[in-house]
A and B are shown apart, each in its own frame.
Chain A
Amino acid sequence: MKRILTYLAFAILGIGIGGYSALAMAGLLPGDRRTGGPIEINKWYGDFAMGSEDASPYFRARIARHGLLALANTEAVYFTRTVDDTGRPFTEGCSYRLSGGTMPARWWSVTLYDAENFLPDNVDNALSFDASRAEAQSNEDGTWSAIISDEEPGEEGGWISSKASGNFDLTFRLYVPDDGVLDRPEEMIDAPSVERIACAGGAS
């Protein structure tokens, strides 16, 4: 009887460790938001194997949880970012300036998601900033900017609402990337910067 109990205890321990390590390595634990990858551009992380049969089993499991039905890289590439330019995690309590220039794709967008990988539960109708809004800013050099904050900013320009988002992250999509992006992404993509402006309580 004691022998059986010993086997049982070790079996439970082994299954527990094996199961937990699988969930952790595949980004399946509650609260895990790692959607990044080996490509890093200005703190944006991406993996061009998304949606592809070439994806590793761990990355495939992670994408199933965090980015189900993502397109293969010839149609779209995705980057995710969780920190501002100085490396501090995004939080609803702070405001940020998202800025950039022309992008090497037919269309692009930056969208804000909460920790559960969903659009934050607000009715501000300001969930993303995309190429069409950047064009509307009509800057001759192609530069654009948008504010990320939990209240509509007083200044004119783009706005992404972070209301009810808690600790959020941003996803940068490039649809129909230009030739060369898949081979030389760091060289081709000048990914947007995200500067922290101010925080509730006065911290910056």
Chain B
Amino acid sequence: MKRLIGPFAASIVLGLAAHFAIVHYAPSFIMDRAYTMLGERGTAVHAFNLAPQMRPDTQSVVRPSPDLAYSACRFDLTQAPGGIRVVMAAYDGYSSLSFFDAQTNNFRTIRGNGEAQEGVLVPKWATSSQEGAIYSPSDKGIILIRRLAPTDEDYARVVEAAKGDVCEALGE
């Protein structure tokens, strides 16, 4: 029996390590897959892409709302030394501009309230004194604009509004 103490202890240590590693890394792993998949579906880095109306054949992330129109921008601050300028164009109806880090945290959301909203995304360690600076906990992540559009007519209005959305890397 004593001969099994060592293997048993190793089993517990490895089991705990596997358990906590999976729980810890699962969100970033899933987020990374979503980041990659958005790219494969046409969302470039540092550019908003308006998704088609959410329907069974167009959904790309879990549990989308068919009543909302989604515009996504993938960001990578290692490719944007001066930060990323983000503009959500005005929309008559509910709209929000939300920022998600690599750990899936929604670290900032700005409500539209019928007006255009603008900010500059910078790394959390940046010493930016720029007005409207938004500090990102991670280099990579996703910026998402939601606009309420339950009908085809509403979605057509979103298409027009989304032409004014901006997600662009700034130089030094």
Contact = CB atoms under 8 A, between A and B. Distances in A.
Contacts of B11: 10-11, 13-14
B18 A22 contact: yes
B117 interface: no
A70 B106 contact: yes
Contacts of A22: 18-23, 26
B157 interface: no
With most chain A CB atoms within 10 A of its CB, the pick from B14, B20, B55, B144 is B14
Contacts of A74: 109
A133 B66 CA distance: 13
Interface string B1-26: 00110111011111111111111101
A81 interface: no
Interface string A148-161: 00000000000000
Contact of B62 (A18, A51, A66): A66
A200 interface: no
A113 interface: yes
B158 interface: no
Contacts of B64: 119
Nearest to B31: A64
A111 B34 contact: no
Nearest to A35: B63
Interface in B87-119: 94, 96, 98, 100, 103-107, 109, 111
Interface residues of A, number: 61
Contact of B94 (A67, A106, A111, A171): A106
B167 to A, nearest CB: 16
Nearest to A54: B105
Contacts of A109: 65, 67
B18 A18 contact: yes
Interface of A: 3, 6-7, 9-11, 13-19, 21-23, 25-26, 28, 51-53, 55, 57-58, 60-61, 63-72, 74-75, 106-107, 109, 111, 113, 117-123, 125, 127-128, 130, 132-133, 171, 173, 175-176
6 contacts: A16-B15, A26-B23, A61-B22, A67-B63, A119-B64, A130-B67
Given A13-B11, A22-B20, A57-B23, 10 more contacts: A10-B7, A18-B17, A55-B105, A61-B27, A69-B104, A75-B111, A118-B56, A119-B54, A128-B67, A132-B150
